[in-house]
Structure 1
């Protein structure tokens, strides 16, 4: 008998949460290199095949999922829709993606996982390089999306002395630094899409305010 869609989705979220809970707990206790995927699967009471239905790697289970690309519909909407603030538009799309990824997580669970991840990276700073690599993948995707948007909507440009690609690079740099800055400021809660977007855009605002106050 086929399960109702809502029940299937709830079970999927529960399974994903178990994987993340097991992965972060084991790695916090024993170290990243000392924990295998097989051990995570045993602790979460799932098969290895099930693990890879939810995670691309141990890295993702331990450090979290970073959306590195818009889906086809979201990308088309971003490219086609005029915007007077592309940083805000891009952050809005990313906030929605992040909220969808963590839909169903309660505040207590999210706080516990976030704290474990902070502890893990504090003990093993080299793991931060993995996160940085994923941010580079996201930056490359955003650069392509923003370049296509600027080509289609030249009126949305702000740096007239630069090429579309150069302005896209500048915008992606601000987006990336806003995300980094937000990570340093964030709480252990599980923010909604609106709360996440507010945090990210405020970080972008603080960075641009700082830049405007500098004399060159």
Structure 2
């Protein structure tokens, strides 16, 4: 039974990577707006039903992590893990969310190029903004439950949550799109580098 589950999981991983490979290859060659889900399916040798078993949209197959950010386990972790920095906890949550979505260097390199496509960039920013709103609600909940974690006493917990969510969103975008990051770096390494660069800029401003 264990071997059967292992083989099933391996097949699932291979199918996901085949879809991502097809999606990024076609968009890298032709542009984000000129590729359809049907063409990705045909190139990957799968049905539309199979595609949507793995990805919620063309955007998520081309750009990476799905739009779903906070499942019940991550929600519980975020709300209950002891911390002295909600920003650090938020960044850790985003990094965990990205793990496993950039397993291929070739796909990572394509996504880095695709990020400069105006239509892809617009879609990515929309998805990142939606994630920021989602995480901001959680941040607000944590800040209201533990006021001692707040850093900005002059504004509401909602405003502070929006600030933290905005910072996290920009770190995520920099990690995914910066042309200065080697595509061979793991997404976790790029994420850490993005945080380092933003801290360096902040200290120098």
TM-score (norm 1): 0.82
1:148 positional shift: 0.5
Partner of 1:126: 119
1:129 positional shift: 0.6
Partner of 1:75: 75
The change in CA–CA distance for 1:189 and 1:49 in structure 2 (over 3 A counts) is same
How far apart in 1 are the matches of 2:128 and 2:181?
Answer: 17
3-state SS of paired residue (2:152): coil
1:4 positional shift: 2.2
Q: Does 1:189 align with 2:184?
A: yes
Return the match for 1:145 from 122, 138, 148: 138
1:158 positional shift: 0.9
1:67 positional shift: 5.0
Say if 1:67 and 1:97, in contact at 8 Å, map to a contact too. Answer: no
1:66 positional shift: 4.5
**Segment of structure 1 superposing worse, 28-37 or 46-55:** 28-37
How far apart in 2 are the matches of 1:31 and 1:101?
Answer: 21
Partner of 1:158: 151
Say if 1:68 and 1:135, in contact at 8 Å, map to a contact too. Answer: no
Deviations 1:48-105 (A, max 9, x none): 2111111112222222225542111211221123321211111112211211445xx2
Q: CA RMSD in A?
A: 2.3
The change in CA–CA distance for 1:38 and 1:174 in structure 2 (over 3 A counts) is closer
TM-score (norm 2): 0.86
Partner of 2:128: 135
How far apart in 1 are the matches of 2:144 and 2:68?
Answer: 22
Say if 1:68 and 1:141, in contact at 8 Å, map to a contact too. Answer: no
Task: Structure 2: give runs of 5+ residues left out of the alignment.
Answer: none
Return the match for 2:199 from 200, 205, 208: 205
Tell me how many residue pairs correspond in the alignment: 203
Q: Does 1:95 align with 2:89?
A: no
Say if 2:41 and 2:51, in contact at 8 Å, map to a contact too. Answer: yes
Task: Structure 1: give runs of 5+ residues left out of the alignment.
Answer: none
Q: Does 1:86 align with 2:117?
A: no
**Segment of structure 1 superposing worse, 154-163 or 174-183:** 174-183
Aligned ranges 1:27-66 → 2 under 5 Å: 27-66=27-66
